[in-house]
Amino acid sequence: MNAVTKPHALDEGDAAQLMLAIDRWVEREVKPIVKDYDHADRYPTDIVEQMKALGLFGATIGAEYGGLGLPARTYAEIVMRISSVWMAITGIFNSHLMLALAIEKFGTPAQKRAWLPRLATGEVRGGLALTEADAGTDLQGIRMTARRDGDHYVINGAKTWISNGIEGNCVALLVKTDPHAQPRHQGMSLFIAPKQDGFRVGRKLEKLGYKSIDSAELIFEDYRIPADHLIGEVEGQGFYQATGGLELGRINVASRGVGIAEGALRLATEYAQIRKTFGKPICEHQAIQLKLGEMATRARAARLLTLDAADTFDRGERCDMEAGMAKYFASEAALENSIESMRIHGAYGYSKEFDIERLYRDAPLTCIGEGTNEMQRIIIAKQLIKRNPVA
């Protein structure tokens, strides 16, 4: 496999070559193994090494740090293509890139030099450790604390549902450095937290879908790290740093939704031409045509909303409304298309021998990740009113 390792950001021609490399890789390396790995919930070590070679662990990291420096639009296209076959493996580098984004966007120059090159190659791999048992969408409810002790911080608490928690070796860790601060978000800080003494994995969490990527409980007991692992230079910025990547994170989840919606449509279109009832392929029955027409329109609309959000992000404009729309619509499209595709497949759609059952199990996660769809609609409405005030 040819690695894409250029010292500068990819130009249009390079990006086209990368897309071709991704398509060939998915066809040759991913498709043949996905069923076995997904059903066994086995971590795809070989696939991870291949993703390193493709540069995916440095996809959005700046070229000056050894990354590909991809714009959000190109990154979204990559996630769509992979997710149309196996969404779970996109989570391995997506969550990792959220850690990198926090450092690149808010870290000190020294932190960027120390961590980003190793994150870009995949030598250091990890994700975001934000969620706790009683704090998910409401991050201000976290209970994990960090106490300053000379030139170090001592951290205690637990996180849950952390992607790459077992196989990764570093996380961006959200804690309370001032548990009594009011408002609550002013007492939160974000740390670069490598695995070492005091940092252990509690247990692997079993899931309906999204198999082969580890989701874990992480436990911190008198975990001691140097003060220079605080992202940025001052305490109290963690809430803004943790949520500062949500726009790109939601574009990412929207892209996964598009991939599933398009994958489900592709499988349904293929099957409808092969399966026959009453003497003709089921694609010639009007009831099936109605389903396919809706699925195709839904997938196309989801793609366009997602690319619009990515373009807005790439222009440096505020895009919480656009990203929220994309994430909300694309994730619902994934859910609806996977169900409709399963119905078109009939009893075979319920069989583990067919790929649609995996897409059906993976789709619901997109409606939950990076903020529930109920929250997205609230964000959309608030931004709609703010952008259109009555004179």
Over residues 198-229, the pLDDT tens digits come to 999 999 999 999 999 999 999 999 999 999 99
Tell me, yes or no, whether 151 and 265 share the same domain.
no
Lowest mean pLDDT among 2-16, 36-50, 192-206: 2-16
- Residue 325: predicted pLDDT: 98
Q: Are 66 and 58 contacting, i.e. CB atoms less than 8 angstroms apart? A: yes
Do 233 and 251 fall within a single domain? no
The domain boundary residue, chosen from 213, 242, 271: 242
Whether residue 4 is contained in a domain is answered as no
pLDDT at 53: 95
How much is the pLDDT for 358? 97
The CATH number of residue 104's host domain is 1.10.540.10
User: What's residue 369's pLDDT?
Assistant: 87
Q: Are residues 91 and 142 in the same domain?
A: no
Question: Burial code of 218-228, b = ≥16 C-beta within 10 A, e = fewer?
Answer: bbbeebebeee
Mean pLDDT on 240-251: 90
CB 313 within 8 A of CB 279: no
Q: How many CB atoms lie within 10 A of CB 107?
A: 23
Domain extent, residue 205, equals 127-242
| Bigger pLDDT: 370 vs 11 | 370
CATH number, residue 331: 1.20.140.10
Residues 273 and 208 reside in one and the same domain: no
- Residues 336 and 361 grouped into a single domain: yes
Judge if 73 and 145 occupy the same domain. no
> Which of 242, 272, 307 represents a domain boundary (last residue)?
242
Predicted pLDDT of residue 1: 43
Q: Please report, for the domain that includes residue 169, its CATH number.
A: 2.40.110.10
Say what the pLDDT of residue 233 is.
87
Residue 2, domain member (yes or no): no
pLDDT of amino acid 9: 54
Do the Cβ atoms of 318 and 244 come closer than 8 Å? no
| 60 pLDDT above the threshold of 90 | yes
Q: Over the stretch 101-149, which tens digit does the pLDDT of each residue have? A: 999 999 999 999 999 999 999 999 999 999 999 888 788 899 999 999 9
- The structure tokens listed for 358 are 């995996």
The secondary structure of residue 125, as a DSSP letter, is -
Residue 13: the pLDDT is 77
Q: Are the beta carbons of 80 and 259 closer than 8 angstroms?
A: yes
Look up 370 and say whether it is catalytic. yes
Q: Which is catalytic among the residues 104, 262, 357, 370?
A: 370
pLDDT of residue 103: 97
Residue 7 covered by a domain = no
Whether 2 has a pLDDT exceeding 60, the answer reads: no
Which pLDDT does position 8 carry in this prediction?
A: 46
Look at residues 227, 242, 257 and tell me which one is the last residue of a structural domain. 242
Give how many domains the chain has, as a whole number: 3
Instruction: Count each helix (H run) and each strand (E run) in the chain, helices first.
Output: 12, 9
pLDDT at 321: 96
User: What average pLDDT does the chain have?
Assistant: 94
Instruction: Let me know whether 256 and 382 are in one domain.
Output: yes
The closest of 13, 76, 62, 19 to 262, measured between CA atoms, is: 76
pTM of the model: 0.94
Question: What pLDDT is recorded for position 368?
Answer: 92
**Whether pLDDT at 15 is above 90:** no
Same domain, 277 and 232: no
Same domain (yes/no): 27, 105:
yes
Among residues 376, 366, 128, 94, the alpha carbon closest in space to that of 242 is found at 128
Q: Which residue type occupies 12?
A: E
Q: Is residue 360 scored above 80 in pLDDT?
A: yes
